[in-house]
Amino acid sequence: MHKNRICHRDIKPENFLLYKEDDASHIKLIDFGLAKRVVPNEIMNKPNGTPYYIAPEVLKGSYTTQCDVWSMGVIMYIMLCGKPPFGGKTNKDIINNVLNGTYSLKNEVWNTVSDSAKDLISQLLERSADMRLTSQEAFDHPWI
């Protein structure tokens, strides 16, 4: 998507579907209702997304396609430990926790996760969008 200058802006597990019932290796990303065609390094400012998966820079009102990379980091975190990195009882709590940016890779469930996977998560959940891996860099990460 990013190579084609499209920012999805609402990447979450509910927006992935299996392409074929008998082939889990082919998935499709759906729901492009919030997607936007962008020029390289375009700064967007309209807040979009779902609280658990929204990047902090989106909440601050100045973001690029890097917000999608953050969302993928949240999904990876959930897939490997079973819960979101930034929880809360209400959307306001979740948003505050995203803005604070504190998460843990230290509890017991992470003992069986490889250092390489944890490295990728930490680079996807980098609070500074400029320091966060790009989608291509994430794809090229050794864990992938």
H helical segments located in 1-142: 56-60, 66-81, 91-100, 115-124, 135-139
Q: Which of 10, 68, 93, 130 is catalytic?
A: 10
Contact (Cβ atoms closer than 8 angstroms) between residue 129 and residue 66: yes
Is 10 catalytic? The answer is: yes
Residue with tokens 């003992």: 111
The C-alpha atoms of residue 34 and residue 117 are separated, in whole angstroms, by: 29
Contact (Cβ atoms closer than 8 angstroms) between residue 89 and residue 26: no
- Which of 59, 115, 109 lies closest to 85 in space, CA to CA? 109
The residues that are catalytic are: 10
